[in-house]
Amino acid sequence: MSESEPVNVLMLDRPYASIADRLLAGRALRKRVSRPVHAELVPAALRADPVAILESQARHRLQSLIPMRHARMAQSPLAFFRGAAAIMMEDLARTPVSGLYVQACGDMHLSNFGLFATTERRLVFGINDFDETLPGPWEWDVKRLAASIVVAAQDLNYTQALAIQAVKAMFGAYKSRMYEFAAMGYIELAQTHIDSESLLMPFSNAFKAALEQSITKARGRNNLQVLEKMTDLVDQSHRLIDRPPFIVHEDHTEEGDPILPLVNQALDGYMSSLPANRRMLLARYRLVDFARQVVGIGSVGMPCWIFYLEGSSERDPLFLQFKGAGLSVLAPYVKRSLFKNQGQRVVVGQHQLQGAPDMFLGHGRLERRSGKSDFYVRQLRDMKGGIRISTKHLNAKIFKDYCALCGWSLALGHAKSGDAAMISGYIGQSDTLQSAVLEFALRYADQNNADYRLFLSAIYSGRIPSTTVY
């Protein structure tokens, strides 16, 4: 299928299925794949070598940054989990699924949620990382999120009892919200967001206070704030501040290509992906400076650049992040993406899961001597924020509430892109599937700890490179 072909064609004779019919159809799927089997985990003897999976990933990234990626993953079992989506996807691909697909995140964990602004400047909460997104089984996102809760609880030295409560809170929110979304019309659902007002309604006073603090910080994160923090005056003009090795001005790529021609090519390709009104708006800005950036844990090694632009004056800045996009970790296990450009895959997935992407979200492709490379573009920090996974920001009193909020948000993303009624019908009203997901999460946290020890051994033995700078 080409990128221009429609996914579906509207037809007068398309069969209609009521919400009740779809709930029953989802329930019927339990006969094919019973809910208790979701507790299953691949036996250790049948698993692929986790270090070999990371080595395979590294071959397609900037080699100079691989030691930093490994160093960041080595900080803790939770940091390792965040960078090990490809390892877990290999495991999840061998587990039973109901057959219901959604626009899956592919790298679902507690740190991949946050606050962001809609194009109408409303502050909303939702999934905020889409590098690995592809249509896939909804269970994979739920199981990875559940496992991340247990791993995070262990990292924060919380009790297993609290970890269990938090997984139940997440799944309970996912289940109840999915049932709620199943009753909505498609347009109503597409326009539904978890806005700052809704956020403060169903939670404890302690969590509301933490949310209000995060909301206030996010509202203060605008382009002028980034200008003050990330630039300095050089010859009466603002320039991005070098912070090696995390932000660096470079003249050539790792492969030896001059940077400036690639920057111009990237801007041209990106501009062509935007709607006409956005192109006209962006054309009023001029490029002032650009620098390479290192971000995240799982993303380290993918090309990433900050572009600093100015509009009507230096008090009208715009910061764009150009980020490389490769094949999703889901790609080996699901149908091929409709989009040949991996940046477009990310952008379309973000539209489907988030429903409120920023106004400058776009994509492009670079043609280089070493081959083609895809990328996507987003604003850097405009009204973005969240709650950090630490005892300071996410103490034991509010951990469970935060996990419930993430379950709510994941359900919304899945409902926007999948069949909420069929998923809800499959889940049902009992705790059968919740118990299975909880058992899987506890088992996988143990597996993650074992993989982490193997990973550290690979570093200590010199099998894989690492650095003390992270």
Question: What DSSP element (H or E) covers 14?
Answer: none
- Provide the 8-state DSSP code for 65: G
Q: How far is CA 112 from CA 46, 80, 82, 86, in A?
A: 29, 15, 9, 16
Q: 84 and 202: one domain?
A: yes
For 84, counting Cβ atoms within 10 Å of its Cβ (0-12 exposed, 13-18 middle, 19+ buried), the class is buried
* pLDDT tens digits, 213-224: 998 888 888 788
Q: 204 and 165: one domain?
A: yes
Question: Pairing mode, if any, of strands 134-137 and 113-117?
Answer: unpaired
| 385 belongs to a structural domain | no
| 302 Cβ neighbours under 8 A, 6+ residues apart | 61, 62, 131, 323, 324, 325, 326
* pLDDT tens digits, 44-83: 888 999 999 999 999 999 999 999 999 999 999 999 999 9
Q: 127 and 230: one domain?
A: no
Q: 214 and 172: one domain?
A: yes
* pLDDT tens digits, 116-126: 888 777 889 99
Instruction: Pick the range with the lowest mean pLDDT from 88-97, 248-257, 337-346, 406-415.
Output: 248-257
The full DSSP string for 351-404 is HHHHS---TT-EEEEEEETTEEEEEEEEESSTT-B---SSTTTS-HHHHHHHHH
| 264 belongs to a structural domain | yes
In angstroms, what is the C-alpha Rg of the chain? Answer: 22
Domain boundary among 379, 412, 446: 379
Q: 249 and 314: one domain?
A: yes
Question: What DSSP element (H or E) covers 232?
Answer: strand 231-234
Q: 179 and 72: one domain?
A: yes
The whole domain housing 161 covers 19-221+395-460
Domain boundary among 332, 354, 379: 379
| 101 belongs to a structural domain | yes
- As a whole number of angstroms, the distance between CA 160 and CA 167 comes to 11
Q: 133 and 144: one domain?
A: yes
Domain boundary among 331, 355, 379: 379
Contact 247, 291 (CB under 8 A): yes
Count of C-beta atoms within a 10 Å radius of residue 61: 18
- As a whole number of angstroms, the distance between CA 17 and CA 298 comes to 41
Both tokens of residue 392? 């300071």
Give yes or no for residue 334 having a pLDDT over 90.
yes
- As a whole number of angstroms, the distance between CA 405 and CA 332 comes to 30
Contact 405, 199 (CB under 8 A): yes
pLDDT at res. 9: 56
Q: How many domains does the chain have?
A: 2
| 7 belongs to a structural domain | no
pTM given for the model: 0.94
